[in-house]
């Protein structure tokens, strides 16, 4: 997949509004979801913490481009990103949504792999 900016609406549709059913895992910086794109491709979407002042638009783009350059057989490829600010009507203020999109690895997670080796 060529790198591109996905809209937050694209990601909402691909994860059924970030349904808990599609959660693959959760870490310090947010949850990761399985997303089924309209092209039929399945990817992993890491929804980053909302309104993190450290990771602005430029910071996210820089991080994305660094991740895109990484190449190793044990690393998952970074495909796309989303950075979008929208009005939240019920709260009458804007929120910034950030997400990084990765290849979906079909063989589970690293924790499961390591525990099987022991």
Binding residues: 46
Binding residues for ATP: 46
By C-alpha distance, which of 44, 10, 43 is closest to 25? 44
How many residues make up the chain in this entry? 118
Say how far apart CA 100 and CA 70 lie, in whole Å. 15
Which parts of the chain fold into alpha helices (H)?
8-14, 57-69, 110-117
Question: At CB < 8 A and 24+ separation, what contacts does 20-28 make?
Answer: 24/109, 25/109
């Amino acid at each position: 997949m060529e790198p591109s900016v996905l809209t937050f609406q694209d990601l909402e549709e691909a994860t059924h509004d970030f349904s808990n059913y599609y959660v693959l895992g959760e870490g310090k910086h947010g949850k990761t979801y399985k997303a089924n794109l309209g092209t039929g491709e399945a990817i992993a979407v890491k929804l980053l913490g909302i309104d993190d002042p450290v990771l602005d638009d430029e910071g996210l783009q820089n991080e994305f481009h660094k991740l895109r350059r990484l190449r190793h057989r044990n690393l998952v490829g970074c495909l796309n990103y989303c950075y979008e600010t929208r009005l939240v009507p019920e709260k009458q203020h804007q929120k910034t949504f950030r997400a990084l999109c990765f290849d979906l690895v079909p063989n589970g997670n690293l924790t499961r792999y390591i525990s099987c080796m022991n």
